[in-house]
Structure 1
Amino acid sequence: MTASDGDPRGLGRFLTLADTAEILNISASQAYALVRSGELPAIKVGTSGHWRIERDRLEDYIADKYEENRRRGLWHQAEFADVPELFAGRD
């Protein structure tokens, strides 16, 4: 992928932990923890076993976090709704 392919930073298909950390605005150790826990899928490459995160998996992770936050917000709204409001119009 080149910068003209929609990648303004010129990064390829696979990102380093440092790239991933920068995109998520977290530390490299936090990115490593996400990978080690399995929350963020990654692969080890090369003889030295450096972690790489596929750009599509990172985008999926971000989308999943947005969805998780959206659902959490709806849940919190429902917690504070009056019970009659939940069943309005069901006569």
Structure 2
Amino acid sequence: MEPRFLLMSDVAEQLNVSMSQVYHMVRSGELPAIKVGGRGQWRIERSKLEEYIQRKYDETAAWVRENPLTGREDFDEE
């Protein structure tokens, strides 16, 4: 059984982003999280992460609809 709550490092690994990016998403309210324990460690509920991912898919699909391909420059990868 998978744990209900994830560490910020787990989320960073799953999203393939840095810890500072996850911290920013949490602090901005973009990704819901809770602080637990005496030292206030952040935890992200697995279901909230899945909701965040789905929301990003929806936002990306809307962006793609609003910004159709216009040329080869759209294929540049980071």
| TM tier, smaller | 0.7 to 0.9
Which position in structure 2 is the counterpart of 1:31?
22
Aligned residue pairs: how many? Answer: 69
How far apart are the structure 2 equivalents of 1:28 and 1:22?
A: 9
TM-score normalized by the length of structure 1 = 0.72
Residue 76 of structure 1, CA deviation: 1.3
Bigger radius of gyration: 1
How far apart are the structure 2 equivalents of 1:61 and 1:28?
A: 16
1:26-54 deviations in Å (ceiling 9; x for gaps): 01111011000000000000000000000
Q: How does 1:1-80 map to 2 (within 5 A)?
A: 2=1, 11-77=2-68
Q: Runs (4+) of structure 1 moved beyond 2 Å?
A: none
- What percentage of residue pairs aligned between the two structures are identical? 54
Q: Which runs of 5+ in 2 are unaligned?
A: 71-78
RCO (CA 8 Å, sep 6+): is it higher in 1 or 2? 2
Q: Which runs of 5+ in 1 are unaligned?
A: 3-10, 81-91
Q: Which amino acid aligns with 1:66?
A: Y
